[in-house]
Amino acid sequence: LLYAGSWENRVGRLLWHTIKYDKGYDVKIEECDVIPQPYRSFPAGGEKEQIWSWNFNQDNVELTCDGELQYLQDFDEGEVSSWKTGLPKKCRALGDAEVDRIAFRNMEGYYIRAIPKDGTVKFPDPQPEPEDESATEEIQLDDPAQLIDPGQPQVYPTCSCWTPECGYCSNLECTVKQDLSTSTHGISVTVHHNKATRKKLHSIILYDEPGNVLGTFQWSLKNINLSGCISCPTPLAKMRNMTHGVADAHWTFHLENGMARIYMKEEVMYERALVGKCVERYGKAKRFAFNGMGCENSFKFLASEMEPGANVTPDCGGTCPMGS
């Protein structure tokens, strides 16, 4: 915990693990990151004795382990969140703060080896005991449920699964687990309006729980398709009324209770009841992944009913640059 001027003025909170987790929930600066970020390698090769160093510079902060860079955050490049207020301004404010006191939490058995830049060590007044016991509660970075408000959606890029890393849409770590047959939220996607054309198809691949492909939902300005069950023209007049004068198009796809619906601006643009084998087929939809959407588009991740694969991250497992 970082403070500037007094113990009442907390300006930063740094959280990190000493090992690398498969899902990449390794390190986080609360004022800069919405969710934890992955390390660049396995720290210190798994050695028990490690030397971790937070190095604050004018424009950025680095975290190294035994001299190897594991995390770098520019203060001018904090993440943006629809539910976590103050970002990215708090990140820049952390870089500008004159930190003069530090408090440690959950670090019993660790040792501090600080090197003051001016060659002197100053000991501030003792920190008062926190009145709120939750202030000392341990935060598990590998448990995203503790770091994400489950009731508020996060904005994730529509990572394409058609990559070697995702086994060309066969790797379940590139899918999002969600029971679409019972979900009242569906899949909400934001597409840059100037990218929408009559020929460009946007695709959501649907899987059953074990990972077998059930089919693909596709839409464009020309057609709406659901493999084996729906193929029809897009209702252009209705869609144009909903997208006129806006920069981005917001689509929500529902399969609740055997009814296929597409919403735009919370209004139903298209709906059709599935019949026969289509009801049974898509009633098994428990996972989804994107194809052909690009890093610039996004979807709403709702932790209360979605579970992301390891490669469904803010940088799409490293395939999309952060902030693209």
Give the mean model confidence (pLDDT) for residues 116-142: 51
Q: Name the band, by pLDDT with cuts 50, 70 and 90, for residue 32.
A: very high
pLDDT beyond 80 at 242:
no
pLDDT beyond 60 at 19:
yes
pLDDT at 186 (0 to 100): 92
pLDDT at 142 (0 to 100): 43
- Per-residue pLDDT of 296-324, as tens digits, reads 788 988 888 899 998 888 778 777 765 44
Q: How far is CA 238 from CA 16, 136, 210, in A?
A: 49, 53, 37
Can you read off the two tokens belonging to residue 28?
A: 């986080």
Cis before 88? omega within 30 = yes
pLDDT at 198 (0 to 100): 47
pLDDT at 148 (0 to 100): 47
Cβ atoms of 24 and 313 closer than 8 Å: yes
Q: How many CB atoms lie within 10 A of CB 3?
A: 19
Q: Range with the lowest mean pLDDT among 57-66, 109-118, 217-226? A: 109-118
CA distance 203 to 226: 10
pLDDT at 118 (0 to 100): 57
pTM given for the model: 0.53
Contacts 24+ apart (CB under 8 A), 270-275: 270/224, 270/232, 270/234, 270/235, 272/230, 272/232, 274/229
Alpha-carbon torsion 231, 237, 238, 244, what sign?
A: positive
How high does pLDDT run on average in the chain?
Answer: 79
pLDDT at 156 (0 to 100): 86
Q: Write b or e for each residue in 21-37: b if 16 or more Cβ atoms lie within 10 A of its Cβ, otherwise e.
A: eebbbbbbbbbbbbbbb
pLDDT at 292 (0 to 100): 80
